[in-house]
A = this chain, B = another copy of it.
């Protein structure tokens, strides 16, 4: 496979770029004209660390790499702009398979309005994808960092959590399906559809870009996406904001089917939800008087649930009160995992 030939094939298949891109792939650099401030994030997915080719299709791997990068832009309240893709290609991945990876990425790019504006490719020992994404907003102050949470703010969470961890568990344990139906006491059809949803949740996450912009527009004071898991990511937000977070474990919105998978696996569903990661939902702090408006907007425009899961308090760290009364004092992801 020649690098130039592959790049030429990739360029032919790229979806049209957005209006900010004045010169796309194929020159020394892409040229864009941002119309305000930019938010830029980089993410890398490495075979054997972040994905396994046996469990995910190449298109799903491409989708997930771009999704995890765009999720960081969602957490800033940014509009998706440009994506730049580096592909490390091992000897057993051929040119057609590289195109499959790119096609998975291009599908999500079109769905989110992101432009694939450039990239590089190299031979490598293992498959890896390094993605840089650039998001846009009117001014630097329009973005929501992790640092602005204030005591008294409500702590809110989009969607449901635990689904990605449950999906990973199902992927890793193909024989779990029967147990899942039996111990979970779900009927067969409902169990199958819930299982598929959990697996999709793990393999093809959705970056909450529109939700992030809505939360930013409703005055979110701090925001982070859940990549490491609620326990760890809440800690990152608390640390950067210099505040404490109190979370009521009983209020956490758990993914449909999580309880059944957890039961079949002999795990605590809350532990999976809090420590599992990769849900890519948004955790934000909001002035309490914005809660009702933000909830309504998200439901109406995105059909997405917003749940108040706790509050910002003076102090440090994250406290998660479990329904059985136990208290998890979180110093980060490792302690909860």
A42–B132 CB distance below 8 A: yes
Q: How far is the CA of A45 from the CA of B49 in the complex (A)?
A: 20
Contact bitstring A172-189, B, C-beta under 8 A = 1, else 0 = 000000000000000000
A49–B122 CB distance below 8 A: yes
A72–B29 CB distance below 8 A: yes
| Residue from B26, B36, B42, B125 in contact with A240 in the complex, judged by beta carbons closer than 8 Å | B26
Q: How far is the CA of A119 from the CA of B147 in the complex (A)?
A: 19
Looking at chain A's contact residues, is the secondary structure mostly helix, strand, loop, or mixed? strand
Q: How far is the CA of A180 from the CA of B143 in the complex (A)?
A: 59
Chain copies in complex: 2
A31–B26 CB distance below 8 A: no
B46–A132 CB distance below 8 A: no
Quick check: is A120 within 8 A (CB to CB) of the other chain? yes
B42–A118 CB distance below 8 A: yes
Distance of A3 from chain B, by nearest CB (Å): 9
B42–A86 CB distance below 8 A: yes
Quick check: is A33 within 8 A (CB to CB) of the other chain? yes
Q: How far is the CA of A335 from the CA of B29 in the complex (A)?
A: 25
What B residues does A85 contact at CB under 8 A?
A: 42
The stretch that binds B, out of A73-81, A194-202, A254-262, A268-276, is A73-81
B41–A4 CB distance below 8 A: no
**B-facing residues in A88-128 (Cβ within 8 Å):** 88, 117-126, 128
A124–B34 CB distance below 8 A: no
Q: How far is the CA of A2 from the CA of B332 in the complex (A)?
A: 12
Q: How far is the CA of A286 from the CA of B44 in the complex (A)?
A: 40
A42–B120 CB distance below 8 A: yes
B38–A34 CB distance below 8 A: yes
A130–B86 CB distance below 8 A: yes
Q: How far is the CA of A122 from the CA of B223 in the complex (A)?
A: 24
Q: How large is the interface on A (under 10, 10 to 19, 20 to 34, 35 or more residues)?
A: 35 or more
Q: How far is the CA of A204 from the CA of B27 in the complex (A)?
A: 24
B49–A40 CB distance below 8 A: no
| Residue from B28, B31, B84, B88 in contact with A128 in the complex, judged by beta carbons closer than 8 Å | B88
**B-facing residues in A212-247 (Cβ within 8 Å):** 223-225, 240
Quick check: is A134 within 8 A (CB to CB) of the other chain? yes
What B residues does A73 contact at CB under 8 A?
A: 28-29
Residue of B whose beta carbon sits closest to that of A38: B32
Residue of B whose beta carbon sits closest to that of A71: B28
Quick check: is A248 within 8 A (CB to CB) of the other chain? no
Distance of A73 from chain B, by nearest CB (Å): 6
Q: How far is the CA of A315 from the CA of B27 in the complex (A)?
A: 20
Quick check: is A288 within 8 A (CB to CB) of the other chain? no
Q: How far is the CA of A223 from the CA of B28 in the complex (A)?
A: 9
Quick check: is A146 within 8 A (CB to CB) of the other chain? yes
Q: How far is the CA of A132 from the CA of B110 in the complex (A)?
A: 22
List 27 A-B residue pairs with CB atoms under 8 Å apart, sorted by A's residue number. Answer: A4-B332, A22-B37, A27-B146, A27-B147, A28-B72, A28-B75, A28-B223, A31-B140, A32-B38, A33-B36, A33-B37, A33-B38, A38-B38, A42-B85, A42-B119, A43-B120, A44-B120, A44-B121, A46-B123, A46-B124, A86-B130, A88-B88, A88-B128, A125-B125, A125-B126, A130-B130, A132-B132
